Structure 1
Amino acid sequence: MRHGEFEDPRLVAVYDAECRWGPDDDFFLGVVNETPQARVLDLGCGTGRLTLALASAGHRVTGVDPARASLDAARAKPGADRVTWIEGTAALLPDRSFDVAVMTSHVAQFFTTDEAWDGLLADLHRALVPGGRLVFDSRDPADRRWERWNPVDSRRHPCLPDGRTVEAWTEVTEIRGDVVSFTHHYRFPPSRLLQSSATLRFRTEAQLRASLHAQGFTVEHVRGGWQGEPVGAGDGELVVVARAA
């Protein structure tokens, strides 16, 4: 299934079990907290891990995601009534309505064509107030993360809330330049196998900077990890903070 980890409730539960709070969440929360009581957009909010924490910190938060199953899981969590949830895309965003926009968990990489990426940045620029900040992460292609997406190095065993353990692994299926396709495999006990496929674009720092500039953003900085390391010396990330002109 295409994007099954977001669209299939059974795999959404696995996603939640695997994706716990981490240093990336600490980073995004810290950046947003620099603007007290901000109007925050969490685009590609998924099951709401960071979205709910932002609301709990006193911000006015809107979580947007096209995947209904993920939003259903988010809406069922404690504190969900503090968030405005929208099923859809950035095209639905109102003009000049947000002080900060975040895209976490490498949402930026799902926009694989230049047309889709430029359109997204244009929508975000329109939705932010002048001077509003855009914060997102994208894997550094120099880190070649996809080389570790294989049945041996990626094998894991998340435990679901009901006590069942799922065997999971990832397999790259195609590489075309900076575009990588892959499939997540999930074996539920006793032997049911489900799959989720996706494609990601690995843009360089220079490509990200150029595309942001073209859509009216000023890049404040790009870091290589969640502790502010230089690019190439951190977690294999490109962590971008930009401002709408």
Structure 2
Amino acid sequence: MGRVMDYNEYNDDLLAAIYDDDNPDGEDHDYYRALTKRLKATHITDLGCGTGILTVTLVASGRNDVGIDPAAAMLARAANRSSGDAVEWRLGTSTLIDDEANDLIIMTGNVAMHILGSDWHATLDNIARGLKSGGVLAFETRNPQALA
């Protein structure tokens, strides 16, 4: 008999399957790639990396790229991307950010909007702990009432 998936796991798999269609590569990703180059970042963490559509495009020789996401289905897709083997994928939250290691930590799309209440403050504390002196946090939020 096959393995039975629970409701949340099914929803995670379904979301991962359609995620890239709803969140394609575009100008927002161009901004993060340009920022990475401008900062000459050698250690980058993509917090809430989803399927890694942006994360894998940040891979470069001499760079340490980490993608963190709480959804295993998203990370499974990310790891199977071209250059996915050059990224360290971590299942979890901001608690997995390396201490004082990051030149750049990014949260793209609507990631910041999903971190609510005291979790937002804890996430910011973890990010601050994870940045090198002079390191940068870059994130965006989206207006949920605006049409795409």
TM-score (norm. length: structure 1): 0.53
Residue 169 of structure 1 is matched in structure 2 by none
Pick 1 or 2: higher relative contact order, CA cutoff 8 A, min separation 6: 2
Residue 134 of structure 2 is matched in structure 1 by 131
| Partners of 1:37 and 1:58 within 8 A in 2 | no
Q: Does 1:102 align with 2:106?
A: yes
Q: Does 1:24 align with 2:23?
A: no
| Partners of 2:102 and 2:130 within 8 A in 1 | yes
Equivalent residues, number: 142
Distance 1:22 1:73, change over 3 A: same
Distance 1:2 1:146, change over 3 A: farther
Residue 47 of structure 1 is matched in structure 2 by 51
Distance 1:137 1:58, change over 3 A: farther
Q: Percent identity?
A: 33
Distance 1:8 1:69 in 2: 6
Distance 1:129 1:101 in 2: 10
Q: 1:116 aligns with which of 101, 111, 119?
A: 119
Distance 2:12 2:119 in 1: 24
Corresponding letter in the other structure for 1:127: G
| Larger strand percent | 1
Corresponding letter in the other structure for 2:53: R
The structural deviation recorded for 1:58 is 5.9
Distance 2:146 2:33 in 1: 30
Q: CA RMSD in A?
A: 2.2
Q: For residues 75-116 of structure 1, what are the alpha-carbon distances to aligned partners after superposition, in whole Å with 9 as ceiling and x for unaligned?
A: 111111110111011112221011110000121111121x11
**1:50-89 equivalences in 2 (<5 Å):** 50-56=54-60, 59-89=63-93
The structural deviation recorded for 1:11 is 2.7
The structural deviation recorded for 1:59 is 3.1
Segments of 5+ residues of structure 1 without an aligned counterpart are 149-153, 155-245
Distance 2:14 2:8 in 1: 14
| Partners of 1:42 and 1:103 within 8 A in 2 | yes
Distance 1:59 1:37 in 2: 7
